[in-house]
Amino acid sequence: MFLRIALYRLLQAVPTLIGVATLVFLMLHLVPGDPVDALLGEMALPADREALRHAMHLDEPLLSQYLHFMGGLATGDWGNSLLDQRPVLALMSERLPATVHLASVSLLLAVALALPLGFWAARYAGRRQDMLAMGFSLCGVSIPNFWLGPMLMLVFSVFLGWLPVSGMDQPGSIILPAITLGTALAAVLSRMARSSWLEAMGSDAIRTARAMGVGNGMLWWRHAARLAAVPVVTMFALQMGAVLGGAVITETVFDWPGLGLLTIEAIQRRDYPLVQGCVLLIAGFYVLANLAADMLGMWLDPRQRRL
């Protein structure tokens, strides 16, 4: 039953990916600029420009280009980079480990901050501790990555000289990017943990356990925690996909050689196949994260096991 539902949800994701691929293709072809100019320059001879345009299928109608693009995706041929002339999949596979490393550390940091803050806020709901925890959460949600990153670099790299400014080759290079990316995730998860814990403590199951003489600590850390885990784990799984979207900005700020920075570089160079591949890969992670959230929710709560 569980495997059948998982396969059904996975099949539902296929039209989503097709729609994303179509939107990416159309939007890139509507953006001002010509990749031929980016490759040859505006002073190139007309014959050279037309030959390159024919080689990249840019002289064909838009529908033919779209069918060629979708056929390549279906056969595993994502095309070659216009500038590097290397397969798109090879370029992305080189950058993906750096993004996975940054995302993993950021998620671990987010969990390490969010769960204690969420419990602290729920345990002292309405008091000063709750306001302090939720104030941190509000700051984490409100401060954008493109501002927080440079401020951390200015303080810890320029003024104090404790950590590297950019890149990933030096010891401690992961700290500032992970803080920049993880604080926003921690803020979202802490608010979800607080509300889930409070909702669980007000449920009939907890009232029954309290009437049977279960201690307060056992109520908070065993019974209520199990009830609150479903929405928190689901939100965490969704954030696994959102972290890649945030990594685009964070990697650009810190010159982190991952998939996000590769996407920005490809956009600046009008490298259509590489942009399409990067966006599709990020969208695929989003879809897989949603599927993981559904599967975790059904595993924790059998009531959700319905098609």
State the CATH number of the domain containing residue 172: 1.10.3720.10
Domain-located, residue 244: yes
> Tell me, what's the pLDDT at 303?
58
| Percentage, residues of the chain above pLDDT 90 | 0
> Tell me, what's the pLDDT at 281?
85
286-to-22, 105, 293, 297 alpha-carbon distances in Å = 16, 18, 11, 16
Domain-located, residue 209: yes
Most confident of 70-74, 177-181, 223-227, 289-293: 177-181
pLDDT at 307 over 60: no
pLDDT at 306 over 60: no
> Tell me, what's the pLDDT at 182?
86
Tens-digit pLDDT profile for residues 252-287: 888 888 888 888 888 877 777 888 888 888 888 877
Please give the tally of structural domains in the chain: 1
Range of the domain at 141: 95-255
What are the start-end ranges of the H helices in the chain? 2-30, 35-40, 46-55, 62-74, 88-123, 128-142, 145-152, 175-201, 204-211, 216-218, 224-254, 259-268, 272-300
Tell me the pLDDT band of 25, cut-offs 50, 70 and 90: confident
What number is the average pLDDT over the span 242-260?
A: 82
Domain-located, residue 275: no
Q: Give the closest residue to 232 by CA, choosing from 102, 116, 103, 106.
A: 116
pLDDT at 44 over 80: no
- CA 88 to CA 199: how far, in whole Å? 47
Domain-located, residue 299: no
State the maximum Cα–Cα separation within the chain, in Å, rounded to a whole number: 87
The label of the residue with tokens 């490298």 reads 271
- CA 26 to CA 29: how far, in whole Å? 5
Domain-located, residue 272: no
> Tell me, what's the pLDDT at 70?
83
Q: Is 95 exposed, middle or buried (0-12, 13-18, 19+ CB in 10 A)?
A: buried
Domain-located, residue 163: yes
> Tell me, what's the pLDDT at 30?
73
Domain-located, residue 149: yes
The label of the residue with tokens 């309290």 reads 210
- CA 184 to CA 108: how far, in whole Å? 13
Domain-located, residue 268: no
